[in-house]
Amino acid sequence: MSEHKSFLPENLTGFTIFLDRDGVINQPIVEDYAKQPADFILVDGVLEALGILQRMAKHVVMVTNQQGVHRRLMSEKDLENIHLKLYNSLKDKGVSYFDASFYAPYLKGESHEWRKPKNGMLLKAKSYFPDIDWNKAIMVGDSPGDMLLADTLGITKVKIANPQFSFNNQDFTYSDFPAFVAAMSK
């Protein structure tokens, strides 16, 4: 584990931003999953915010737990179709897709190295992008697992408010992802 650096930089040049999906990019569904594209509703302003973030940061990587696949509540094809909806929404706005996108279909109880709060997805991202510097990385998420994941590598933790979760181990809190990007782009 690296030493934790709790700060937000004046700009994101050289930074890698790791984004959770549910509750950050799309509206959360309480005690359920976006199991098909119709269930996947983007947070207002998220497409524009992603475009701004991509121009500011070195890498933008989506990391998401999706145990609904393992539980057979949805198939991998359903998940692909949801991500295709996101891709097409971004494309329609002239915004690129993420530099990388990873999902962990494993059950919470399995303790798989890819399932947050374990850091397998972030380590895989680093294998693709060796220039990722953990001292210049930020995890943006809405759950305790996202913050615990950030702790494993000592990266800055940004909480996106979600009434489903009550925790207070984040470094910074924003009402939503577009508010975080707006604060970073001032």
Place of tokens 């909480």: 159
User: What are the b/e assignments for 73-84, b being 16+ CB within 10 Å?
Assistant: ebeeebbeebbe
Distances, alpha carbon 12 to alpha carbons 30, 105, 169, in Å? 32, 30, 22
Q: Does residue 171 carry a catalytic annotation?
A: no
Active site residue: 22, 146, 171, 176, which one? 22
CA 35-40-43 angle, to 5 degrees, is 150
Dig out the tokens for 131 from the structure: 């220039």
State the Cα–Cα distance between residues 78 and 65, nearest whole angstrom.
Answer: 15
DSSP label at residue 5: -
Helix and strand numbers, DSSP H then E, in the chain: 6, 6
| C-alpha to C-alpha distance for 57 and 15, rounded to whole angstroms | 5
- Assess whether 22 carries a catalytic annotation: yes
Residues with catalytic annotation? 20, 22
